[in-house]
Amino acid sequence: MDVVAQMKNFLEPRSVALLGVSRRTGEGTYNILEYLLDYGYKGKIYPVNPNAAEILGVKTYSRIADINAQIDLAVVNLPRSLVPQVIMECVDKSVKSIIIATQGFADATDDEGKRLQKEIDAFVKKDGVRILGPNSLGVANPFINFSSSFIQLEMSKVPIGVVCQTGSFFGFVESRLLGKGIDLGNACDINFAESLAYFEQDAETKVVALHIEGLRDGRGFIEAAGRLARKKPVLALKAGKSEYAAKAVKSHTGSLVGSDEVWEAALKQCGVIRVRSSEELGDAATAFSLLTLMKGKKIAVVTSTGGLGVMSVDACEQFDLELAKLSPETIARIKALAPSWHNIGNPVDIWPGYIVTKNPLTKVWTEALDSVLSDKDVAAVLFIWGVPAHSTVERLHHTLVKLVEAHPDKPLVCCLVGAYAEEAGRILQATGQIAVFYTPDRAVRVLSYLARYSAFRRSF
C-alpha cells in the first residue's frame, strides 16, 4: 500500500474497530463510541469489550477476531500493559492501520514504558502495519464526521489541515483551527512526512498548520514539506526552543527537539512559514483558508479611526509590509466624500466623510473601498471599522460581499472593534471571502504572511 492509501485508512476509514470502549456513557466517561454516534459517522463501527453484548445499541465484540468484516482502522485505548497483545490481535485480523491513544511508553520515565514501546515498534511496517501514536488523540475528519479522539471535539469543515504533537490542537487551542487533523503523539511510526504527503493530495485541505516538538527523520520532513509548500501554504509552530523546554518535550512526547537555528534555516529553505505562537498559527491558517494570494506587499488601510490607522502603520513596519501610494484618481474619489479640510492619505481615514459630511455609511464604505481595491499599487486592503451597534452589521455584510466579489484578485482583511465587532466578524467570515480580526496588529500580521507566501510562490 502506498503512503497516501495508508493515510486514507487513518483519515477516511470506512470501518473502525474500537479497542477499549467503556460500557459507561455520558459526562466524564470519554466514550469514543458515544461521540462517533453523536458526530454522525456513517462508516461501520465495531466496539470491542469482553463484558458487553452491545453498547448504546451497537453490537459489541469480545475480541477483534470475532469481527467478521474488513477493518480499515483500529483505535486502541487500553492500559499500556495490554497494548502489545491487542496489536498482535489486530495484525492477526489483517488490520493495517492502528491508532494508539494510551500514554506511558516513550513518554514514561520507567523501563517498563521503554520495553513496551520496543514491543510496539516491532510491529511497525511488518506486513504493512502502520501505527499512529502512542499517546495520541489520533485523527479528526469533519468531512466524514469522524474522530478517534477520546475527548469529544467540535469539528468544522474548514479547509485547514493540522499535524500536531499535542492533542491540544484538536479543537482546544484556537478551536477555529481544526479541519482535518493528525495528532502524532510519540510518533513511533507515522510522522510529519506521511501526514504532509496526505495533505498534499487532499482536495479538502487548502492550508496546512504544523505544531512541531521534534522529529527523527529530518530529511523526510524537509522533502515532504518542501513539496507541499510549493502547492499549498504550510505554517509551522516549532515548540521547545530552550534546553529546559527540550526536557519538557522529552517527558511529553519523547521527541528530540534539535537546535532552534537548524529549524529556522530548514523551515525557511522549504518555504514553510514559521509562526511564533498558537495565536499566530490560528490567525494565519484562517487567513490562508479564506483569502487569495497578493500581487506584492503594498497595502491600503481604510479606517474609521485615525488612532488605529496609526497603529496599523506601526504594524506594517514591524511585519515588513508597505503602505501603497494611492493614485490621484483614488485620492480624488475619496476626497469627494470628505470635508475640504480633511487630509486624505494612506491610511485613509473615512470618518470625517461620514460624521462631518453626513454621507450615507454604505456610500462611504463603497466609494472608499472600491477606489483602493481598484488602485494598481494596492495588493491588499485592511479595513478598520467600529461596530458599536447591531443595526449596521447587515449593511456592512452586504456592502463588503459586493466589494470582494467585484475584486476577487485582492484580499480584504477587516479589523473590527466595538461591542458588535464579533457578531459582525462571524457573519463576514462565514462568507468564506473575508478574514476578520479584532486588533490592527493581528490583521496586518496575517497580510504579511500572505505577502511572503505569495512572493515565494512567484519565485519558481
Stretch touching a second copy by CB under 8 A, among 13-21, 61-69, 286-294, 315-323? 315-323
92 in contact with a second copy (CB under 8 A): no
Which helix (H) or strand (E) element contains residue 163?
strand 160-164
Pick out residues in 317-346 that bind a second copy (CB under 8 A): 317, 323, 339-343, 345
In the chain, the amino acid numbered 426 is R
From candidates 108, 163, 190, 382, binder to a second copy by CB under 8 A = 108
C-alpha to C-alpha distance for 212 and 249, rounded to whole angstroms = 10
In three state form, how does the secondary structure of 190-222 look?
CCHHHHHHHHHHCCCCCEEEEEECCCCCHHHHH
Q: How many whole angstroms from its chain centre is CA 320?
A: 24
C-alpha to C-alpha distance for 114 and 58, rounded to whole angstroms = 36
Q: In the block, which residue shows the cell 537546535?
A: 259
Contacts from 265-270 at CB under 8 Å and sequence distance 24+?
Answer: 266/218, 266/221, 266/222, 267/225, 267/236, 267/238, 269/222, 269/226, 270/222, 270/225, 270/226, 270/229, 270/234
Q: How far apart are CB 171 and a second copy at their closest, in Å?
A: 7
Which helix (H) or strand (E) element contains residue 426?
helix 421-429
397 in contact with a second copy (CB under 8 A): no
179 in contact with a second copy (CB under 8 A): no
Rounded to 5 degrees, what are φ and ψ at 319? -105, 15
From candidates 12, 34, 72, 174, binder to a second copy by CB under 8 A = 174
C-alpha to C-alpha distance for 290 and 431, rounded to whole angstroms = 9
Residue 64 or 447: which CB sits closer to a second copy?
447
Stretch touching a second copy by CB under 8 A, among 61-69, 147-155, 223-231, 290-298? 147-155
17 in contact with a second copy (CB under 8 A): no
411 in contact with a second copy (CB under 8 A): no
From candidates 122, 265, 419, 430, binder to a second copy by CB under 8 A = 419
Q: In the block, which residue shows the cell 511496517?
A: 125
Residue 80 or 232: which CB sits closer to a second copy?
80
Q: Are 197 and 4 in contact (CB under 8 A)?
A: yes
202 in contact with a second copy (CB under 8 A): no
Q: How far apart are CB 14 and a second copy at their closest, in Å?
A: 27
431 in contact with a second copy (CB under 8 A): no
From candidates 54, 92, 112, 405, binder to a second copy by CB under 8 A = 112
Helices marked H in 320-415: 328-335, 352-355, 361-374, 393-406
From candidates 15, 175, 292, 357, binder to a second copy by CB under 8 A = 175
151 in contact with a second copy (CB under 8 A): yes
460 in contact with a second copy (CB under 8 A): no
In the chain, the amino acid numbered 69 is A
From candidates 206, 252, 297, 298, binder to a second copy by CB under 8 A = 252
Pick out residues in 356-395 that bind a second copy (CB under 8 A): 356, 361, 386, 388-389, 391
Q: How far apart are CB 201 and a second copy at their closest, in Å?
A: 27
From candidates 308, 368, 381, 396, binder to a second copy by CB under 8 A = 308
In the chain, the amino acid numbered 318 is Q
291 in contact with a second copy (CB under 8 A): no
435 in contact with a second copy (CB under 8 A): no
From candidates 12, 34, 72, 213, binder to a second copy by CB under 8 A = 213
442 in contact with a second copy (CB under 8 A): yes
229 in contact with a second copy (CB under 8 A): no
311 in contact with a second copy (CB under 8 A): yes
- Number of chain residues interacting with a second copy (CB under 8 A): 80
240-264: burial string, b at 16+ Cβ within 10 Å, e else? beeeeebeebbebbbbebbeeeebe
Pick out residues in 55-74 that bind a second copy (CB under 8 A): none
C-alpha to C-alpha distance for 226 and 234, rounded to whole angstroms = 9
Q: In the block, which residue shows the cell 523551515?
A: 267
